[in-house]
Structure formats: structure tokens, C-alpha cells
A and B are shown apart, each in its own frame.
Chain A
Amino acid sequence: MDQYELELKRALERCGPGSDFTARVMSQIRSERSLAADETSKKIASFPRWRSGVWRWAAVGAVAASLTLGFVVDQRRSEHRARIAEAELYETLLLAGEKISQARAEVIGVRYEGGAQ
């Protein structure tokens, strides 16, 4: 290192800030922290009730219960409709059976009459 570089080194020697520098930084940190804490508490205060844990679970429960109830009611309705359809089918089959036996009897009657002649 030559004379010129030594001079440069001396010229750029470290120096310190004002004596209250640390205190000022700390007070700024404290005020920033308290500001952040205030904002957090404001956020908590303005947080909608339904978004808190209990209310959220209550909402989920209500939705699940209504879905289950809907499903049960729908199933009952389907069963009822199936029973009606079954009864109608049975009745139809009975009527068809009756008609078939009636027709069969008529056919037999016609054949019998034809044979007698």
C-alpha cells in the first residue's frame, strides 16, 4: 500500500453516528411494532363472526345436515314413486290377465260352437 492509498484509507476511516442513534432506531422499531400490533387487533375486531373457528364449523355442520336431509327426503320420494309404479304395474298385469282369460274363453267358445255344427 503506497502513500496515496494510505491517505485514502485514512480519509475513508470509519466514523460513528450521533450518540442517540441506537435509541432512535429502537424507538422507531417500537413504534413500528405497536403500529403492527394495533393493525392486527383491528383486523381481529373487524373479523366477521362466521369466519371464526366455531362459527365456521357450525356453518359446515348446517350445510352437511341440509344436504343429508335433502338426500333422505329425495330417497323417500323415489321409494314412494316406485311403490306406486309397482302397484300400477300389478293392476295392469291383473287387467291384462283378465282380458287374456276372457279372450281365451271366447276362442274356446267359438271353437266349441264350430265343432258342434
Chain B
Amino acid sequence: MQEARASRELVDRALRDQEAFAEIIDRHKAMVYSLVYNFFRNRTVAEDISQDAYLELFRNLDKIESDNHMAFWLRQTVTRKCIDWSRRQKHRRYQPLEDVPEPGVEPQERDLLMEDALAAKVAGLPEKMRLVLILRFQEDLKLSEIADTLDIPVNTVKTTLRRALERLRPKVSHLAQEVVYGPVRA
């Protein structure tokens, strides 16, 4: 109760004082940034979309009721932005210069640890599967919370999650072999 009041106070303060908004950014930036980063596996895009989400939050700050509401609002906004961005990129392939590998250098993925490779595999899943997985495993959300965030039925979340896990499972064993014995060549 006291925490809810304090978070409401912070929102009220941020409406008047810009510095209080910096506190809000710090509070949620890891969540916001990671949602986008795990979706795209691209730091530049993750920072751009996160910034955009915070600007939108600043414009809609008067509609925020509590810290929980803010986290929900941010999650929902970020997931929508991810989908929009991803759909736009289907027409225009985008790769920032710093993410382009040097010619003749092996793709970095082969040198990364198992988790990084797995996260990259997650980033290769279809949009909805990716979001459900990220919200479930990064944010530890319940199925009903994921359904609210993505505005889809709980049963759809369940099915999507099951299918995503089934899709990834063979890749995980394949990855485990790659990490232990090096890249598997077909």
C-alpha cells in the first residue's frame, strides 16, 4: 500500500519535475531494454526502441496510475513496438554498421556461450512465440499476465508457449553438441 502510494508520488513528481522521470527510467530500463534486446539481439535497435518507449511514456505519464501499471504499460508498449519494428524491417532489411561482422571473421555466434547461442535461436522464432518466451522466461510472468500484455487469450499463450518450447528443444541439444564439440557440419 505504502509502496503503491510512493510510486504514485513518483509519477506525480515526474509530471512536474523532469529529474523524477530519470528515476522512473532507471527503475525500469533493464526490463524495457532486455525485452527488446532479447527480441532482436541487436543493441542499437534495443536502445532505439527503448528510448522511443520512454518518450511515449513521458507523453502519457498522466494516464499512469501506479508502478505496476507503469510496468504493464511499458511491457505492452515495448512488445507492440517490437512487432511494428520487426514488420517494417521485413520490407527494409536493417543492420547497423557496428553489428556487421568484419569480412573474413567467423560469425561471433560460434564463439558465444550456450546461453547466447540459445538466445539467438529464440530471436529466430516467429514474433509471437518470441514474445511469449521472453515474457515468460525473462519477466517471469504468469500465463494470464502474458495474455493481458499481448492482448490474446490465455489458451493461445499456452499453445504458443508449448509450440515454442517444442521448436527450440531439438535446437538446444544440437547447440549443446556445438558448444562441446564445435560447430556441427551437415
Contact = CB atoms under 8 A, between A and B. Distances in A.
Given A12-B38, A14-B34, A17-B29, A5 B165 contact: yes
User: Would you call the interface of chain B mostly helix, strand, loop, or mixed?
Assistant: helix
Interface in B7-57: 18, 21-22, 25-26, 29-31, 33-34, 37-38, 43, 46-47, 50-51, 54-55
A21 B33 contact: yes
Given A4-B172, A7-B115, A17-B50, A25 B55 contact: yes
A30 B18 contact: yes
B137 interface: yes
Interface size, A (range): 20 to 34
B148 interface: no
Interface stretch (B69-77, B98-106, B116-124): B116-124
A18 interface: yes
Interface in A16-37: 16-18, 21-22, 24-26, 28-30, 32-33
B30 A11 contact: no
Contacts of B114: 7, 11
A26 B22 contact: yes
B150 to A, nearest CB: 16
Interface residues of B, number: 34
A75 B11 CA distance: 65
Contact of B55 (A5, A10, A28): A28
B129 interface: no
B146 interface: no
Nearest to B23: A22
Contact of A14 (B31, B51, B58, B133): B31
Interface of A: 4-5, 7-18, 21-22, 24-26, 28-30, 32-33
